[in-house]
Amino acid sequence: MIPSVDLRDPDGATQLFAALEQFGFVELTSHGLDPKTIHDLRTAADSFFALPDATKASHVHPEPLANRGFRSRGSEALAYSLGKETPPDLFESFNAGTDSPEQWTDLIQPTPWPDGPVPAFRPAALAMLAEFARVGQHLDRLLGEKLGIPDLAERSLHGPDMLASIDYRPDPDGREQLTDGQLRMGAHSDYTSYTLLLADPVPGLQIVSPDGDWVDVVPQPGSLLMNVGDLLAIWTNDTWPSTLHRVVPMTQGAAARRRSFAWFHYPDPDVVVSPLPEFVGDHTHYQPVRVDDHVRGKLGAPKTRSAPTSASTRAGRTS
């Protein structure tokens, strides 16, 4: 059973920390995201993914590290971020960032918005980015207080945050053509502090449980999923595990259509992350690493089918 935490509960923070330590994963209710903003983005994203492939392809960003714009089915294989060679993944996404960052870099690039075919997409995505950032600031303050990083929220304002609108669907004939070992989204951990996910309440997402087994996650309608990313795992020396997760195809029980919106949240690029003293016993699992360096070492691997150069946070778990 995936832990569920009501953020309005006076004991919610304690429950949150316990869930992150046990699973690295939690379902959040009473999160405060604006329902109209969610509806507007879902409507705009549906319109975008219904466009002809050639139109969508005109909104691909040329810089692989930017993680902006359209990603077609088969353009990534996320298991490469763990050093595992797999067939390409069967999802489409449109990845967006804020239009006014502190500084443009190759990691933080302008989003190639589909303003012509879907003019509602940009305002809807920017509004959703602002909503996630507001909730993220609250969570950062809670996490910073717990971890002894009192300025975590202030040092997590200018990272390479990204909103991914993700669409999974079968072929027009209703089937899903697979090669051996192919998934809708390959097993991986996120490179973030943490990730927040709004997903349709249908089967498809799986996470690795504390016992090492893959378990299904079907969120409650309207709830928000949160998973620990690599950077929180490094800070806690794997006390809070970076959640291994994947999305399985229809042959393994997934719904024919599944949509999700993932917000990937990071500290600022120059923040150095290393295991905190209170989490270090006889062994330190990780060396200090700049956020910028860690993300670079992970982000390109799924797109270029190359080995990652950043530390894995699998911590002995299966995938």
pLDDT in tens, 9-29: 999 999 999 999 999 999 999
Mean residue pLDDT across the chain: 94
CA–CA dist 102, 271 (Å, integer): 15
- Domain assignment present for residue 174? The answer is yes
CA–CA dist 279, 235 (Å, integer): 8
pLDDT at residue number 282: 76
137 close to 253: Cβ distance less than 8 angstroms: no
CA–CA dist 186, 188 (Å, integer): 6
The per-residue pLDDT for range 24-81, each reduced to its tens digit, is: 999 999 999 999 999 999 999 999 999 999 999 999 999 888 899 999 999 999 999 9
- Domain assignment present for residue 122? The answer is yes
Mean pLDDT within 243-257: 96
Between 110-124, 166-180, 258-272, 275-289, the lowest mean confidence (pLDDT) is in 275-289
pLDDT at residue number 129: 98
Can you give the residue range of the structural domain that contains 25?
Answer: 4-304
4: enclosing H helix or E strand: strand 4-6
- Domain assignment present for residue 92? The answer is yes
CA–CA dist 242, 194 (Å, integer): 9
- Domain assignment present for residue 95? The answer is yes
Q: What confidence category does residue 317 fall into, taking pLDDT thresholds of 50, 70 and 90?
A: low
- Domain assignment present for residue 319? The answer is no
Q: Give yes or no for residue 281 having a pLDDT over 60.
A: yes
pLDDT at residue number 64: 82
- Domain assignment present for residue 44? The answer is yes
**Total domains, the chain:** 1
19 close to 224: Cβ distance less than 8 angstroms: no
- Which of 250, 298, 265 is closest to 196 using CA atoms? 265
Show the tokens assigned to 238.
Answer: 């794997």
74 close to 92: Cβ distance less than 8 angstroms: no
47 close to 114: Cβ distance less than 8 angstroms: no
265 close to 156: Cβ distance less than 8 angstroms: yes
64 close to 300: Cβ distance less than 8 angstroms: yes
pLDDT at residue number 319: 46
Q: Give yes or no for residue 235 having a pLDDT over 90.
A: yes
Q: Give yes or no for residue 301 having a pLDDT over 60.
A: yes
pLDDT at residue number 48: 98
Domain CATH for 101: 2.60.120.330
DSSP conformation letters of 191-217: SSSEEEEEE-SSS-EEEE-TTS-EEEE
- Domain assignment present for residue 310? The answer is no
The per-residue pLDDT for range 96-145, each reduced to its tens digit, is: 999 998 889 988 999 999 999 999 999 999 999 999 999 999 999 999 99
Mean pLDDT within 149-160: 97
- Domain assignment present for residue 41? The answer is yes
Contacts of residue 282, defined as CB under 8 A and 6 or more positions apart, other chains included, come to none
- Please report, to the nearest 10 degrees, the dihedral formed by the alpha carbons of residues 180, 63, 68, 191 taken in order: 60
Q: What confidence category does residue 193 fall into, taking pLDDT thresholds of 50, 70 and 90?
A: very high
Instruction: Please return the burial class of 12, using the count of CB atoms within 10 Å of its CB with bins 0-12, 13-18 and 19+.
Output: middle
CA distances from 193 to 32, 245, 303 (A): 20, 15, 21
